[in-house]
């Protein structure tokens, strides 16, 4: 429940007293609004670890349907070339047949082709798979930031850097309600972070990887205070102190 303390004149106290009824009512609503459940879905795992699981090396790109792949087989130029996956993400490769590559990384596809060639056709095949139109790795930033959108994930990215890329927090951002959504090994994880605590060095600035989604929460209390300030008399000269419990 919240209350206000103000001094100097009785007139101010009367005006604040009238508004404090609204404050008391809406502060209870704010407390309920901030108690939001996280990870209630059965297909979501909420981790309380300091670090989310890290994705594998090239997890920033996975092969999908109708993707051009440059396949290089060392010492077997006739097998090397540009191949196209079908609408189901399958690749018809010489000597092996259909390979299901949908959802696999280029490294996994290289290993799959090498395993199919090993023994019967090549003693120790060395295979490299490179997507023809390799997309720029990116991170999605949404919620209460000044410029939500998708940003390139170039170099080593951290949570603070990604938020700064989105031009920082919006006026009603909840600094203690910042989510990082990440999928690792077909499992979806959600990390909950406090930006202010990170800025103060209370715990490390977590690393952000390509395909991560960063969501900055909304602070109902900040919105309520903004509305309440609009209700105050414009010519107040005394100090007004808000205290929430």
The partner residues of 244 in beta bridges, in order of sequence, read: 2
Global pTM reads 0.56
136 near 124, Cβ under 8 Å?
Answer: no
Helix 10-34 / helix 220-231 crossing angle, nearest 10 deg:
160
C-alpha 26/C-alpha 20 separation (Å) is: 10
Q: Which domains does the chain have, with CATH numbers?
A: 2-29+225-244 (no CATH), 39-57+136-219 (3.10.560.10), 68-131 (3.30.1950.10)
153 near 208, Cβ under 8 Å?
Answer: yes
Q: Kindly give the confidence (pLDDT) of every residue in the chain, 245 residues in length, as a single tens digit, with 9 standing for 90 and above.
A: 333 333 333 333 323 333 333 333 333 334 444 456 665 666 666 665 567 888 865 555 778 899 999 999 998 889 999 999 999 999 999 999 999 998 888 888 999 999 999 988 888 899 999 888 776 778 999 999 999 999 988 778 899 999 999 999 999 899 989 999 888 777 788 888 999 999 999 989 999 988 899 999 998 776 676 666 666 565 554 454 545 44
Contacts of 234 (CB under 8 A, 6+ apart): none
Task: HSE, CB side, 13 Å, CA atoms: give it for residue 48.
Answer: 0
């Amino acid at each position: 429940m919240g209350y206000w303390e103000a001094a100097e004149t009785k007139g101010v106290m009367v005006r604040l007293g009238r508004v404090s009824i609204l404050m008391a009512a809406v502060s209870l609503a704010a407390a309920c609004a901030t108690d939001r459940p996280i990870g209630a879905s059965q297909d979501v795992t909420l981790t309380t670890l300091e670090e989310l699981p890290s994705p594998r090396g090239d997890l920033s790109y996975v092969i999908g349907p109708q993707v051009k792949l440059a396949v290089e087989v060392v010492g077997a130029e006739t097998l090397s070339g540009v191949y196209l996956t079908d609408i189901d993400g399958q690749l018809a490769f010489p000597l092996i047949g259909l390979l299901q590559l949908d959802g696999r990384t280029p490294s996994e596809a290289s290993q799959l082709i090498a395993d199919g060639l090993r023994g019967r056709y090549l003693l120790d095949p060395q295979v490299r798979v490179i997507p023809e139109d390799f997309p720029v790795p990116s991170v999605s930033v949404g919620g209460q930031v000044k410029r939500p959108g998708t940003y390139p994930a170039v170099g080593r990215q951290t949570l603070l850097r990604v938020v700064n890329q989105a031009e920082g927090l919006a006026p009603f951002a909840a600094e203690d309600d910042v989510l990082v959504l990440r999928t690792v090994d077909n499992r979806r994880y959600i990390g909950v972070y406090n930006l202010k605590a990170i800025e103060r060095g209370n715990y490390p600035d977590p690393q952000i990887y390509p395909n991560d989604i960063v969501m900055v929460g909304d602070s109902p209390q900040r919105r309520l205070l903004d509305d309440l300030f609009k209700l105050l008399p414009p010519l107040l000269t005394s100090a007004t102190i808000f205290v929430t419990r």
